[in-house]
Homo-oligomer: A and B are copies of this chain.
Amino acid sequence: MGSPLLAHYADRLQSAIAAKSTAAVVGIDPVLERLPPALCAGVTDNASAAAALAAFARDVIEVVAPLVPAVKINSAFFEAFGAAGVAAFFASVAEARRRGLLVISDIKRGDIGSTATLYARGHLGSPEVADELQVPDAVTVAGYLGVNAVRPFAETAAATGRGLYVLVRPSDPGADEIHEFGGERPLYRFLAERVAEWGSLPERVGATGLSCVGAVVAPKDAESTRALRAAMPNTPFLVPGYGAQGGTAEACRACFREDGRGAAVNASRSVIYAYEDETRLARCEGDWKRCIESAAREFAADIAGIMEG
């Protein structure tokens, strides 16, 4: 696979978090119907819808780039508009990287090994193309098809200084019927153990002791989150469910290690649609970008407070 093209993902993420003094990650989930009216006025087909999403993403990225270390860009919201949407997705990844943000592509792909190799190539890049701006710094991965589904992502990530986050505990309560399956030792605990193992290979561990194999861990409650942190001591957590999805500060705190490292906390809708709050919109004199900026500042400060304990 050749030598790493970039420093280890967990080290780069930790540096970016230190530089911005917050582990807040803004999620870019653009829904056409919720965009500022000026952006979606001329939308008639997939191509114009994709252009509107790209314009919105570009503006969000510009506003939040000075405030947070990373953005998470969700493929589904772009893929809804076909190949044009996918092109807008990759353009948004590149735009965020150009602005100096780390980028997590939220793709949740999962397939059998021979197919997973192709998804890894498409989204994490082969080592030869890993310096392209369209390749994100990390991706989310579904590990439900086992080690073979994850290996191609982990190997490419380790070889190129990139990362992955395997779904361990999703934020949607509807996912509990599967993740709580198995009684005393439910599936999400088993997944956590496997993620810890997959991440423990020496070539996957960075200078901070954290792996390039991370986990998506929704902060359901503080106690079970602490147990997951203990089960995956060297695993970076990507924490969804802050803000609109209702994660609590205490459960979020439990996602961090005692050294204050090891987690990045995502909020999407509560930041990027902050202008839907009429009080905020009035305070920002009707300027939707200022609404996003003020919401992102508050979110970044919230997470900084949680990191300090």
Contact = CB atoms under 8 A, between A and B. Distances in A.
Contacts of A89: 83
Given A175-B112, A190-B181, A79 B118 contact: yes
A121 interface: yes
Contact of A122 (B31, B82, B112, B181): B82
Interface in A67-124: 74, 76-77, 79-83, 85-87, 89-90, 108-113, 115-116, 118-119, 121-123
A145 B175 contact: yes
The complex is assembled from copies of this chain, and their number is 2
Given A76-B115, A108-B111, A175 B190 contact: no
Given A86-B86, A144-B142, A172-B113, A79 B122 contact: yes
Report which residue of A83, A90, A149, A182 has the largest number of chain B beta carbons within 10 angstroms of its beta carbon. Answer: A83
B83 A83 contact: yes
A172 B190 contact: no
A4 to B, nearest CB: 22
A82 B123 CA distance: 8
B148 A175 contact: yes
* Residues of A in contact with B, size category: 35 or more
A166 to B, nearest CB: 12
B86 A83 contact: yes
Interface in A153-190: 167, 170-172, 174-178, 181-183, 187, 190
A181 B178 contact: no
- Secondary structure of the A side of the interface? helix
Contact of A76 (B80, B118, B172): B118
Nearest to A177: B146
Contacts of A31: 118
A197 to B, nearest CB: 11
A20 B174 CA distance: 40
B79 A90 contact: no
A170 B108 contact: no
Contacts of A144: 110, 142, 144, 167, 175, 178
A110 B142 contact: yes
Contact of A147 (B115, B174, B194): B174
A29 interface: yes
Contacts of A109: 76, 108
12 contacts: A77-B118, A79-B122, A82-B86, A82-B90, A83-B86, A83-B89, A142-B142, A146-B175, A147-B174, A149-B172, A181-B187, A182-B187
